Amino acid sequence: MLTVSVENYLKAILHLQVEGDDLVSTTAIAQKVASTPASTSAMLAKLGERGWLEHQPYHGVRLTKKGHRVAMDILRRHRLWECFLVDHLGFEWDQVHEIAEELEHVGSVELTNRLDAFLGFPKLDPHGDVIPGPNGRFRSVAARTLLTEAPRNLELVVVGVVDGGDAFLRHLGVLGIQLGTRMTVLERLSFDGSLHVKYPEEEEVQLLAPSVGQRLWVDQSSPAPEILFPEEEDLQ
């Protein structure tokens, strides 16, 4: 049986491994699970013995196939519960993380799969993060771009948030941005990468800090017009 503590470590390692796919450092893990490097070092030794990760002392860890699968299952439960909380219980997207952090540790496979079905097999959680399927792999989703790297003068939709802590999500609230918000990037300022963006209904142009632009996934607004007016696309 997996303890809550072990599960939290495995999920933290998975998270750090997805970005920067090399070895994950003790300190980074300690920070993510809010414990000390010493405690983490002891835990990593144990997780290594039990075959969930490979530990290269003084250099870092990498999840084994087995450990990766376990961590993906936890992530799956976390994100499915977030969907439930937002879609059916009416929570806001910045209120669900902490609760899902506990619900994710109820491990019944039967429960998870029925919840998945109840929710309609969602691909994305309320923050636009991809939900792993019952096979322990991420469900496939449409391609997406960071707002910073998106093309200019094209209407975009916000489809996800990178690493969205509650503070950032509330900041987005202040800016009037949520999943589904549409905007057009007019200009990227060379000074610090700030973005001039325009919202459909508003006249005024807003300036988004790079810390925001780098953490928003966007997609093209409408799959509708596509190649209907290729000349106009070229003109802009």
- The alpha carbon dihedral of 50, 53, 56, 60 has a sign of negative
Q: Is 198 helix (H, G, I), strand (E, B) or coil?
A: strand
Site string for DNA, 50-89 (x = CB under 7 A): -----x-xxxx-----------------------------
Nearer to Mn ion, 24 or 197 (CB): 24
- Give me the least distance between CB of 126 and a second copy, in Å please: 15
Nearer to a second copy (CB atom), residue 21 or residue 98: 98
# residues contacting DNA (CB under 7 A): 26
Q: Which residue has the tokens 């405690």?
A: 39
Q: Which of 175, 119, 123 is nearest to 144 (CA)?
A: 123
Considering only residues 108-137, where is the footprint of a second copy by CB under 8 A? 108, 110-111, 114-115, 118
Interface segment toward DNA; rule CB under 7 A; list 25-33, 74-82, 152-160, 226-234: 25-33
Instruction: Give the per-residue contact string, 75-104, with Mn ion (x = CB under 5 A; - = no).
Output: -------x------------------x---
Whether the Cβ atoms of residue 2 and residue 106 lie closer than 8 Å to each other:
no
DSSP one-letter code for 133? -
Give the CA distances from residue 91 to residues 83, 98, 99, 180, in Å, rounded to whole numbers and listed in that order. 10, 12, 11, 17
**Contacting residue, 18, 42, 45, 106, with a second copy by CB under 8 A:** 106
Residue 37 binds which of DNA, a second copy, Mn ion, none (CB < 5-8 A, kind-dependent): DNA
Interacting stretch for DNA, rule CB under 7 A, among 29-37, 73-81, 195-203, 224-232? 29-37
| Closest by CA position to 41, among listed 56, 52, 23 | 56
Rule CB under 7 A: choose which of 10, 12, 13, 26 binds DNA: 26
3-state secondary structure of 112: helix
Decide if residue 103 touches a second copy (CB under 8 A): yes
Residue 89: left if φ>0, alpha if ψ -120 to 50, beta else—which one?
alpha
Q: Tell me how far apart the alpha carbons of residues 133 and 114 are, in angstroms, rounded to a whole number.
A: 12
